[in-house]
Amino acid sequence: VKVFTVAELKKATNDFRKEMVIGDSFGSHVRGYINPKTLSPAKEGVGMAVAVKRCYMFKDLDQDLQDWLVSSYDFLVLVKLIGYGSDHRTLFIVAEYFPNGSLKNYIYRENRPKSLPWETRLNISIGVAQCLAFLHSWKKTSLSRRYITASKILLDLEFNARVSYFGLENLPYCEEGTHVPSLDYAPPEYILSGNKWKLDMSGDVYSFGAILLQMLTGLKMRRIILEIRNDNESIAKMIDPDLENSYPIQEGIRMCEIIKQCLEEDPKNRPSMQQVLDNLNAIART
């Protein structure tokens, strides 16, 4: 893990130029370029692309936070840490870059660059479920102080998915900022508590179900959630028209059932992420 100077990061990101900003999850990050061998700054479009995130801390970078970054960041965030730097109370995190951005870019029918085929959507679902099941098995609780959203699911060149806890809310001593994620993904117990409910694993399952639902329909949650709870066939009726006649009907029906289980209003009735993963893998094997 390299310790970057602020001068190196400015050079790598063209002085954090606005045009280099990517993503819209909790605190956008900036694309930069470095030499893959020496990790020194490279010109735009040359060398290896990286994502640089700025975090504003409550105190100066100390040895404890440096140790946390080196020992835990890759494991908890599931995104490779390349290096970091600091300037007083500003922490810069340099991590691997995902060329296809976040799932949010592809999830809605309107304004997406292209429609993803059924197999890709299923593979993304399995990839996200694997990440969450792994994190839950290790921590036995939700690892985020906020719920999972499509913006936190990053896609590599082959559209393999990674859940990124790149959000500042998970870094020690970092300010959470004022960004409020969409309530489309918030479990009902969280909303009804006035956002005071402590998020847990069942909340992650609900958020995952909301993401699955939007991937399957291409619609935003607020347009469909009430119908789904009152009509067992409503999901199938709203499946993204771009998928018409291009997916196995039985797989679609089984996906709808997984979604309904994840979106149960009572947290106790929701499956575990491992159960969800097993069910998705069963669909993929058919």
Q: What string of pLDDT tens digits covers the 286 residues of the chain?
A: 899 999 999 999 999 887 666 655 444 688 999 999 999 999 988 899 999 988 777 666 677 767 766 666 555 557 788 998 988 878 888 988 989 988 999 998 888 889 999 999 999 999 999 989 988 887 655 555 567 889 889 899 999 998 875 444 555 555 554 445 567 788 888 878 776 666 788 999 999 999 999 999 998 876 665 555 545 566 777 889 999 888 898 999 899 999 999 999 999 999 999 999 999 999 999 8
Got the DSSP string for 182-239? -GGG--HHHHHTTS-SPP-HHHHHHHHHHHHHHHHH-S-HHHHHHHHHH-TTHHHHTS
For residues 13 and 36, what is the distance between their CA atoms, to the nearest angstrom? 15
Q: Write down the CATH superfamily of domain 104-285.
A: Transferase(Phosphotransferase) domain 1 (1.10.510.10)
> Selecting from 3.90.226.10, 3.40.50.300, 3.90.1150.10, 3.30.200.20, what CATH number does the domain 2-96 have?
3.30.200.20
C-beta neighbour count of 231 within 10 angstroms: 11
Structural contact between residues 94 and 9, judged by C-beta atoms closer than 8 angstroms:
yes
Domain ranges in the chain are 2-96, 104-285
pTM score, whole prediction: 0.83
Residue 9: the pLDDT is 95
Can you tell me whether residue 284 is helix, strand or coil? helix
Strand segments, DSSP code E, in the chain are 2-3, 21-22, 29-34, 48-56, 81-87, 90-96, 153-155, 161-163
The end-to-end CA distance of the chain, in Å, is: 42
Q: According to the model, what pLDDT value does residue 29 have?
A: 80
